[in-house]
Amino acid sequence: MPRFRALIHRRRHTIVFAVVLLLLAAGITATTSAIGAQRQATAAGERCTADALAARWHAGSLFVDARSARTGKPILTHRGDEPTQTGSTMKVVTAAAAVSALGPDHRFTTSVVAGAEPGAVVLVGGGDPTLSRLPSGQDSVYPHAPHLDDLAEQVLAARGGQPVTAVQVDTALFDGPAWHPSWPESARTSGSVSNITALMVDGDRDDPTESYSMRSAGAVARAATAFAALLGPAVRVDTTSGTAPSGAQVLGSVKSATVSELVGMLLTDSDDTLAEVLARHVAIAEGAGRSFDAVQACSTKALVRYRVPTEGLRLVDGSGLSPDNRVPASALTTLMRAVAAKQDGLAPVDAGLAVAGRTGTLREHGRFTGAAADARGHVRGKTGTLDDMFGLTGVTDEVAGDRVVFTVFAEGTSDPGARKEIDALAAALWRCGGQGSALQG
């Protein structure tokens, strides 16, 4: 019996000792965690220099709006509600409008129908700028594009050996001027944008494999001539646009890549022609019109769907090439927050954003090098550039439990060094996570 009592006594001491050890361990762990969290917060504070960078800004006039992606709470704002030029950041608006109005799986069809006169066929433009004159199996700047030779084979087979004598065109899908009056002619010669027509091949590039290849003043003629050459040696080309005969036999058709894929190309590579064509399709789908004049109404509808404030917006094209566009940084940031959350079908837009230092326009011009090099791969976005402005709208990777959505414009400057300042600010926002202090200017 004494031995039994001694055993119980020893076990009680052992249990008490174990409990004390557990409590001590828990206290040490909690203290260590608190110290670690404090050190993390201190490190984040030391690295979070976004507000200081904004205060020292010297690359033109700064317009910035940065917010928590999780809560929408402002992190850094300065003239964020003032409408200003957008450059190609406008393409995020166009891309969002396209997936909203058209759907991510929609494709554009180019077709050929029998003409009214014997031997004539009508090439009907479906508003697909990616249609290629290169041989099938050879990619242009647009992967997975349809090819004219496929269309020609279908037509020749459908005609059962009867020769084609003439190619006519129907480009009635779009109307109004093909070139916006506010665009500089240098945009054509530098290879940035083509005439906006319902029928073209390879974005009307001289070289289908080069993104920035000179465009012509005759996009329709280039397409029709290339098609005629595939149908026979003496096929006449008539580029006076008409309307395909009602109920005419369809001799062949080819389809574009999906809107989701096109949006990815448009954003990553900042393709102006693709942006403008998608804007026309959105306008048609929304019943707003078929010309540049319809862009304001159709794009605004999309922004309203994504709960983006539209007061003060002026949208004159889909690419942002016009200096007459006016959008506040806060509106783009609100849209970018919806994009980052992949809200209401916006996943293709999120996927198309360029990655800092790695893809698209964010790997050009020495982007995210020097002081911003640590943010390479941690910021995604869409750049914007005009003769007198530089911009970036985007989203950062998560730090301390939050991401930052932001829009930065440097207006009134032609100094390429503005890109470095924008990158430094975007990198600082990434380092901050959601811990940046608000700056109201």
Q: What residues act catalytically?
A: 88, 91, 270
Of 132, 221, 206, whose CA–CA distance to 168 is shortest? 221
The long-range contacts involving 225-232, CB below 8 angstroms and separated by at least 24 positions, are 226/133, 226/148, 226/201, 227/123, 227/148, 227/151, 227/152, 227/167, 228/164, 228/167, 230/148, 230/149, 230/152, 231/121, 231/152, 231/155, 231/156, 231/164, 231/167, 232/163, 232/164
The sheet that has 120-124: what strands, in order across it?
A: 236-238, 166-170, 120-124, 109-114, 250-255
List all residues 6 or more positions away from 105 whose beta carbon is below 8 Å from its beta carbon. Answer: 258, 259, 260
Residue pair 141/211 in contact by the 8 Å Cβ criterion: yes
Alpha helix positions (H), 269-328: 272-285, 295-305
| CA 336 remoteness from chain centre | 11
Are 281 and 313 in contact, with CB atoms under 8 Å apart? no
Q: In whole angstroms, what is the distance from residue 255 CA to residue 126 CA? A: 9
DSSP strands (E only) in 32-100: 61-68, 74-78
DSSP state of 60: S
Q: Which two tokens stand for residue 139?
A: 């990619």
